[in-house]
A and B are shown apart, each in its own frame.
Chain A
Amino acid sequence: MQGTIACHACDLLVDVSELKTGQRASCPRCGHSLTRIRKDAHSKVLAYSVAALIALVTANAFPFLSFASSGLESVMTLPQTPAMLWGNGLPMVAILVAAFIIYIPATVLVLLILLCMPLRGERWRPWLKPVGRWVFTLQSWSMVEVFIIGVIVSLVKIMKMATVTMGLSFWGYVFFAILFTMAIAALDKYQMWQEIEALEEQRG
């Protein structure tokens, strides 16, 4: 069954072996996008990943938000968010938040770089398979967008009570979230595994 793919939406088996670079394959029955061969796909993933990592690092280095209410002022940085939760007696929530918004996305980005560097050079590396698997496993646990939406919702509520000022990190983190999403989006799962398989066969 070389070159066929089951549609994610309707499970129709579709033969995509004729697909060429720059083309996109969709399910003939339900119209779901199946796979796509982008030009320089790995370069894109790599570029977005590197940019997202840089954005994440800067987002951690500066004040994220500051609240001021009747003379009381509180400035918070991104790493302080889980630390504060921990200090407030919510260690589990703190660990989860830290993992979902910082560490898992960072790990995903590192894995993406490890994955795409060899694929771009078309070189076999023994970690390609596990890394490829982990990227997609971890990616679903990254909640960057959820966090941003959560922050925005909270801000709308808090703004009535206190003066909220967004710091540099907030915009850095928004930038990171966009780049992170683009990096994930630029990676085509089907094509990636095809290439890994090809490289493994080449070697073997």
Chain B
Amino acid sequence: MTTAQPEVKEGGGFNAIWIIPIVALVLGIYMVVHTWMTEGPEITIAFDTAQGLTAGKTKIKYRNVEMGLVTEVFLTDDFEGVKAKVKMDLQAKPLLKADTEFWVVTARIGVGNISGLDTLLSGAYIQMAPGVEGKPGARDFVALPRPPLTAVDAPGLRLNLLSDHAGSISTGDAVLYKGYKVGRVESSEFDSSAERMRYEIFIDAPYHELIDSSVRFYNTSGISLSASAEGLKLSTGSMDTVLLGGIAFARPPDVPEGDPVAPGTEFRLYDSLDATHENPFNNGTHFVVRFSQSLKGLLPGAPVEYRGIVMGRVERIMLKEMIQMGLEADRVAGEVTATGDPIPVLIYMEPGRMALPDTPASVDLLRAVVETGVPNGMRARLETGNLLTGAQYVGLDYYPGADPAEAGTWGDYTEIPTIGGGLNQIMVKVNSILDKIDQAPLEETLVNVNDAVAQLDKALVGLERILNSEETQQLPEDLSKTLEELRQTLDGLSPDSDLYQNVNSSMRQLNRTLNNLESLTRTLSGQPNAAVMGSKLPPDPQPEARQ
């Protein structure tokens, strides 16, 4: 009987205790890998100054969610700026595009607003505005010197306004529509090449739908006082635009809606609301009118009216062209001649103002009307619009009695003949009246007047003699006597007089008689036969009660 011996091996096998370090290792590796996987990109942001930036403290925020942390702040190699290294979160990765913007948010106190007060406690942070262009993956950025007024991706419409001068508009000013703020001025800069101001404005959604090609922008800043042919005009915007300046837009009345506009479209910035009204039409034509009277008070922009309805405006006085034409004529003639030619004025008329469609066809119609109207007496006349300011305007009307004329041309423009008028004509009339007065037979009249005065004098002398005569002097005395007699007569009728007493007793007797008569009348009406039978009657029989 043999017993089998077991196979014995030294050591070997896996000791369960080694699971612990393996688990620790796996966990450690997992943590490292997890951290490495979730680690966001490291970016560099350039600043002008490190104000408010602290390594390890300053955060990057987007919509108030932390997106990263400044890990290092250092001067650039040329000492011209500051760079901050920022460790971004992984979720910020898709937001980092070429046009992503960064800026430091600190407490700011502006004229119209106070912002970033929370940073007083927490310290400044860096705000991020995600980009929209390009692929994610940008790593180097330049911070904005101040917060942008509008986020890059904010819905709305960005437009450019052009103005000849700066007015009082500055960055951050409101853009108003009917007095309500719908946007703001984002930047203002002087375009030195074009010699004009360029404002970038942003209209918030949904108000950007109000903008089309027909709207006009104008400056509502401050207070504007204007004197024109229509009188003095004072206009102000809302209180804050008076203080801070602002831009408003409106569609001029009677202008149809225009086409939608693309972002970045350029608009002209008018100086005032009135300025937008004066130039709301795109189609118009020029005419020339020539006046041989004083043009004092006729300013560019003055209205051109047809029977009081504004049809256009004065563009300018064409002095330069006139001089050139005169010089040319002198050169041809070979000698200098001064003839006192009328001064040409260029006017601009728009058919749209006459409720015609704002189209080139209407312009042709207007020209046809002028060309046929002139032979029928259409004339331009210089009129005084405002006696106070002396402003003048050009009026058009039909004068059937005018000298016959045709619509000619002057330079490149059609000329409308003129007729003297306005204040000038009144002066002519006043003159003629004065002439007539002058010619009147004044001396003869004076002799007649003198005669009349002499006769009047004689009549007065006669009257005086009558008044001074004896009879006339006695007249008051007689009158006094008569009055005395009248008074005595009246005294006879006084309550103390006999006559009065007699009349009084007679009246009393009459009264008594009338009273008696009244009782008789009553008896008669109750018993008509009393006059004959006396008033006593047997009593009526009374019914007796049976026992």
Contacts and interface: CB of A to CB of B under 8 A. Distances in A.
A55 interface: yes
Interface in A62-120: 62, 70-75
Contacts of A61: 31-32, 35
B28 A55 contact: yes
Given A71-B121, A71-B123, A57 B28 contact: yes
A199 interface: no
A43 B28 contact: no
A48 B123 CA distance: 45
B24 A55 contact: yes
Contacts of A51: 20-21, 23-25
A74 to B, nearest CB: 8
A40 B15 contact: yes
Contacts of A58: 27-28, 31-32
B21 A70 contact: no
10 smallest CB-CB distances across A and B, nearest first, come from A71-B122, A51-B24, A51-B21, A50-B21, A58-B28, A54-B24, A47-B17, A51-B20, A54-B28, A44-B17
- Interface centre among A44, A51, A52, A179, by most chain B C-beta atoms within 10 angstroms, is A51
22 contacts: A40-B15, A43-B18, A44-B17, A47-B17, A48-B17, A48-B21, A51-B21, A54-B21, A54-B24, A57-B28, A58-B32, A61-B32, A61-B35, A62-B31, A71-B122, A71-B123, A72-B123, A73-B59, A168-B35, A172-B28, A172-B31, A175-B27
Nearest to B18: A47
B257 interface: no
Contacts of B57: 73-74
B123 A43 contact: no
B30 to A, nearest CB: 9
Nearest to A182: B20
Contacts of B20: 47-48, 51, 179
A186 to B, nearest CB: 9
Contacts, number: 61
B230 interface: no
Interface in B6-39: 15, 17-18, 20-21, 23-25, 27-28, 31-32, 35
A71 B31 contact: no
Interface of B: 15, 17-18, 20-21, 23-25, 27-28, 31-32, 35, 56-57, 59, 118, 121-123
A75 to B, nearest CB: 8
Contacts of B24: 50-52, 54-55, 175, 179
Given A51-B24, A71-B118, 10 more contacts: A47-B15, A47-B18, A50-B21, A54-B24, A58-B27, A61-B35, A73-B57, A75-B56, A168-B31, A175-B27
A43 B25 contact: no
Interface in A150-164: none
Interface residues of A, number: 24
Interface of A: 40, 43-44, 47-48, 50-52, 54-55, 57-58, 61-62, 70-75, 168, 172, 175, 179
Given A51-B23, A179-B24, A70 B17 contact: no
A71 B56 CA distance: 14
A62 B30 CA distance: 13
A179 B22 CA distance: 13
A40 B16 CA distance: 10
Contacts of A43: 15, 17-18
B15 to A, nearest CB: 5
Contacts of A54: 21, 24-25, 27-28
B17 A40 contact: yes
A85 B321 CA distance: 89
A75 B25 CA distance: 25
B35 A62 contact: yes
A175 B56 CA distance: 28
B121 A47 contact: no
Nearest to A70: B121
A47 B16 CA distance: 10
Contacts of A179: 20, 24
Contacts of A62: 31, 35
Contacts of B121: 70-72
Contacts of A48: 17, 20-21
Contacts of B25: 51, 54
Most A Cβ at <10 Å: residue of B17, B18, B23, B122:
B17
B326 to A, nearest CB: 79
B27 A47 contact: no
Nearest to A40: B15
A125 B305 CA distance: 119
A87 B28 CA distance: 30
A175 B31 CA distance: 13
A175 B26 CA distance: 13
B216 to A, nearest CB: 47
B399 to A, nearest CB: 82
Contacts of B122: 70-72
A73 to B, nearest CB: 8
A182 B17 CA distance: 12
A47 B25 CA distance: 11
